[in-house]
Structure 1
């Protein structure tokens, strides 16, 4: 897909991966609308503009309509907003489960529902969804987050097949662990203890932009994480055993996170 001179609506553009994506899209000559719950006073570089959007709101559909009324030339939407909470399920508040479902799963579905028919009628358009390796591998301490990301992966797969006879492009990108402010210190220390590789937001953003320009349908990032995704899909018991060995370490950091 061509990026130059095309306008993209970027959801989650104020976060680590989102900010890096905005910078790289602008460098490619794209124009970017950065959606934020607090758009007033948001300082953005040339080529970017702010729009107000609350992905967890009950009237999300109406807010999306207002954006397209004001910006009818939007070519694509990049959904990289997300919420997570590292905690045992028994210690996860219902409000945290609800907010993750709303932002991570409900909002991508409503975004696609709004834009897919418009892009199809226009004869072009792209829907890009940023998922996670945890959308393919269930990980202790992230039960709610994994549920939403598994759902997002399944949704994008079904959507891509539903739109296969239209000009609308659907890309699902799945980063591995990424160094962003969304991760609490307990998670950073857990990744160190387990020897997990952690990518920078810039590296993730570069992979997403490359996948877009190459018209990829799926983009799984990191090695050996991509291998684990395949193994988990065909031989999940092997991953069960590996996770069981890690469980005492994971529980230790779950407890330290809960007490901090």
Structure 2
């Protein structure tokens, strides 16, 4: 499905995946409004916003409520990698706000106008780690699990409404989002990050198809289902990786 004449609001549009997704959506005919803390050169328009504060969220909601939004794509996120007992309380708070509270707030902001028109789509970009919760990503995994739950709950609440709720869970992607320690963890876990251009294309395809939930990666799709059915089996499977990765935090 093309997006001719439609306005897409994309958070995190200045990032590695965000900028590539801007191109994909524009190629499908959309006008893309990028929301980020910095300029979004690949978007048609940039809205500077701080999604980590209550005042920043209030400002962006006031702005979006006064203009047409055909598609909302919640891509912006924050990731903490490390021992949970070393994560600062303000990092915990900010991570949950950006990864879960901000998407929920923006969804609440644009949903009434979509319902009034009888058309629209909300897309939440989560993570495989939101279904298979990995050690050392405790707050990131749990916030993405919450985003997945929010998407599913709202989809059920809307029932047969023409408004589509799409949740997409990428696996590791080769971008600056991953620091040196995360890349070392990926090596230990034998995870091979995906090419960001490929991920952006697959996200765009899922958006265009108005898919309900998409997990990127065949193995990841399998482990998502396995974790839901037999979480203790996944515990055992991750034990070796957990022990090896702990050495990264020895100092």
Q: Indicate whether the TM-score tops 0.5.
A: yes
Note the residue ranges of structure 1 that are not aligned, 5 or more in a row: none
| In structure 2, C-alpha distance between the alignment counterparts of 1:66 and 1:76, rounded to whole Å | 15
Q: Pick from 71, 78, 102 the counterpart of residue 73 of structure 2.
A: 78
Q: Pick from 144, 148, 151 the counterpart of residue 153 of structure 1.
A: 148
Give the TM-score taking structure 1 as reference length. 0.92
Note the residue ranges of structure 2 that are not aligned, 5 or more in a row: none
Deviation sequence 1:28-85 (CA, Å, 0-9, x none): 12110011223xxx3624x61111221112121342222342xx23211100000011
Number of the residue aligned with 1:44: 41
Q: Pick from 54, 61, 76 the counterpart of residue 50 of structure 2.
A: 54
Give the TM-score taking structure 2 as reference length. 0.95
* Distance of aligned partners of 1:43 and 1:144 in 2 relative to their CA distance in 1, 3 Å threshold: closer
| In structure 1, C-alpha distance between the alignment counterparts of 2:218 and 2:160, rounded to whole Å | 33
Q: How does 1:2-21 map to 2 (within 5 A)?
A: 2-21=2-21
Q: Pick from 31, 42, 66 the counterpart of residue 63 of structure 2.
A: 66
Q: Pick from 179, 182, 185 the counterpart of residue 177 of structure 2.
A: 182
Number of the residue aligned with 1:218: 213
1:118 Cα deviation after fit: 1.1
- Mean alpha-carbon deviation: is it higher for 161-170 or for 213-222? 161-170
| Conservation of the 8 A alpha-carbon contact between 2:2 and 2:28 | no
Q: How does 1:92-131 map to 2 (within 5 A)?
A: 92-131=87-126
